[in-house]
Amino acid sequence: MGKTITGTERPLSKIFSSDFEYHIPQYQRPYAWTEEEAGILFDDLFEFFSTEEEDNYFLGSAVLIKQEDQPLSEVIDGQQRLTTLTILLAVIADALSGDMREDCRGYLIEKGSLIEGLTSKPRLMLREADQPFFEEYVQSLHISELLSLDPAQLATESQQRIWENCKVLRQRVGDAFAGDEAKLAAFAAFLITRCYLVVVSTPNQPSAYRVFSVMNSRGLDLLPTDIIKADIIAKIPAAERDAYAKRWEELEGLAGRDGFEDVFAHTRMTFAKRKPKRTLNEEFKQFVIQPLFESSPDDAAAAKRLIDDVIDPMTIAYITVKNSSYESLANADDVNRSLTWLNRINNSDWLPPAMMFLMRHGNDSAYVAWFMSRLERLAAYLLITSKSINKRIARFAEVMEEMDAKPESSRSAVLESVELTPEERQEFVEALDDEVYTKSSAVRRYIILRLDSFVSDGAASYEPSMFTVEHVLPQTVGPKSPWLGTWPDPAERALWTNRIANLVPLNRRRNSAAQNYDFRTKLEKYFKGKDNASSYALTTQVLAEKSWTPKVVRRRQEDLLNVFKRHWQL
């Protein structure tokens, strides 16, 4: 008898029930979703809940090794989503009271039943290193206790991700529902009854990985661009069809198959200027193709215009932006420097306005240099102040809307929306003056590297894979630490430990035991690189200091903030 592979669409009420007992195998990578992915998940769920009264929400799929009629489920694919949904349910339960709180708790931990022979246990078991932590704080609803911990002191990076995502989801829930328990309970009911996962179960590991491979294979998948191509090329007269088909394939080759799909997604954004709600194929037709065909004398002319005036220049703009490869007799270095820093930002929401501007004003190198420097500052502001994806999209949409409204803008009559408002500048400065180290790894790395580039006047180059952010005054000062002589006040240490003045970039993480050395020893054994120097300007500045006192750090904080203010014109 053949092995059975089953695929079933199930609501979360069944996903988190006694039908399943999820275990993350030790060979799987640890939990890795960042606050970005967690925030996007919540924003998508909340938007759907707020706008769709009847439809169900599809959360994706999970691949399990599971025997029929047995709850034990080894998770091959779906760990990130199952873990984040568990965190969200815990945050919601923690914000509710009474019966609703207990109902939500039941989706985190199996209550047990003497009659059914069920023991009380968590519904999701993470890897061995993280499960005790996850059960103690998340599944047992000790969220406040979790968030009172210092994330930098947690044992594993996955525990830090759990901490960060609890924090961001609790903030999102608080902002969205503002203490309205009835509305939050309705959202919980939506989540449990109208949100679905497709669960694919197979009885053994080889079969599970074959399923996973097929589901995630991109090599032979029919992408939205293939479907659009077939429709568009068919409308071009036979005499010109081969030439346009060849150009289409050339563009796809230049961008790469995945990159070409990104071109279409970003192009859709330049036309729609809002977050997608349906498939790329549907929305590209709605926002890009349909208006073009409605304004053209015939379908053949529209099809050629789509390729000549939209897909071709947008693909070239995409390649230029992604590769930081702008070419011009003047200002090219400035443009590419800004593009390089934009590409270091851990989202792509800035790409549509960058591509749109380059397509329209690419021949004016002075204007391109000005715009890209302002766009990098705007993107950095949105990153560093932790704006959600919806807020980022809305802010960049303002820039694209003004681009449409002012097609004749130029260096002498610039787009105003790409500038920061006085309120945004103030918020930006406050975020830079805050505890930078407690922000996500991507954010603090961007801040420190960007600051180092400003201090070095752009002379330095960076290899992100060899880069880490370290403290001068250590995070933990023990009762016998030599640091107590210059930093005796715990409140003062807490105030400055995680701010930019006390942080330095290093090429690699050094011996952790050296982190607690006294200042001079730390400089000699921890911060110096080859030839008693450092490849980072910020670290070189610290090497020049004779001591590391509160007075030195206060002065350094002010100096470094002024560097940001000067270079980003804040």
DSSP string, 85-154: HHHHHHHHHHH--HHHHHHHHTTTEE--BTTTTBPPEESEE--TTTHHHHIIIIITT-HHHHHTS-GGGS
User: Domain limits at 453?
Assistant: 431-567
Give the single-character DSSP code of 413: B
Task: Quote the pLDDT of residue 118.
Answer: 65
On the question of pLDDT at 2 being above 50, the answer is no
| Domain's final residue, options 414, 430, 446 | 430
Indicate whether 492 and 475 sit together in one domain.
Answer: yes
Indicate whether 120 and 52 sit together in one domain.
Answer: yes
On the question of pLDDT at 512 being above 50, the answer is no
Indicate whether 463 and 331 sit together in one domain.
Answer: no
Task: Quote the pLDDT of residue 211.
Answer: 60
Give the single-character DSSP code of 525: I
Name the pTM for this structure: 0.70
Indicate whether 32 and 135 sit together in one domain.
Answer: yes
On the question of pLDDT at 532 being above 60, the answer is no
Indicate whether 418 and 458 sit together in one domain.
Answer: no
Write down the mean pLDDT value for the chain: 88
49 part of a folded domain: yes
Indicate whether 392 and 527 sit together in one domain.
Answer: no
As a whole number of angstroms, the distance between CA 52 and CA 63 comes to 28
pLDDT-based confidence at residue 238 (cuts at 50, 70, 90): confident
| Domain's final residue, options 164, 188, 216 | 216
Number of domains in the chain: 3
143 part of a folded domain: yes
Comparing CA positions, the residue from 96, 41, 200, 116 lying closest to residue 107 is: 96
Task: Quote the pLDDT of residue 76.
Answer: 83
Residues in the chain: 570
Greater confidence, 428 or 3?
A: 428
What would the pLDDT profile of 372-408 be if each residue is shown by its tens digit?
A: 999 999 999 999 999 988 899 999 999 999 999 999 9
55 part of a folded domain: yes
493 part of a folded domain: yes
Indicate whether 93 and 190 sit together in one domain.
Answer: yes
pLDDT, average across residues 50-75: 87
As a whole number of angstroms, the distance between CA 493 and CA 548 comes to 12
261 part of a folded domain: yes
On the question of pLDDT at 525 being above 70, the answer is no
pLDDT, average across residues 432-437: 94
Indicate whether 260 and 377 sit together in one domain.
Answer: yes
On the question of pLDDT at 507 being above 70, the answer is yes
Task: Quote the pLDDT of residue 440.
Answer: 85
Alpha carbon 137 to chain centroid, angstroms: 24
Greater confidence, 88 or 232?
A: 88
Bridge-partner residues for 74, per DSSP?
A: 23, 65
Indicate whether 530 and 415 sit together in one domain.
Answer: no
272 part of a folded domain: yes
On the question of pLDDT at 184 being above 60, the answer is yes
Indicate whether 490 and 561 sit together in one domain.
Answer: yes
Indicate whether 441 and 539 sit together in one domain.
Answer: yes
As a whole number of angstroms, the distance between CA 177 and CA 371 comes to 38
Task: Quote the pLDDT of residue 509.
Answer: 52
Task: Quote the pLDDT of residue 508.
Answer: 61
On the question of pLDDT at 141 being above 90, the answer is yes
Indicate whether 153 and 179 sit together in one domain.
Answer: yes
| Domain's final residue, options 430, 453, 471 | 430
Task: Quote the pLDDT of residue 107.
Answer: 93
Alpha carbon 537 to chain centroid, angstroms: 28
What would the pLDDT profile of 264-322 be if each residue is shown by its tens digit?
A: 999 999 999 998 888 888 899 999 999 999 998 899 999 999 999 999 999 999 999 99
pLDDT, average across residues 151-159: 87
174 part of a folded domain: yes
On the question of pLDDT at 483 being above 70, the answer is yes
Greater confidence, 375 or 226?
A: 375
1 part of a folded domain: no
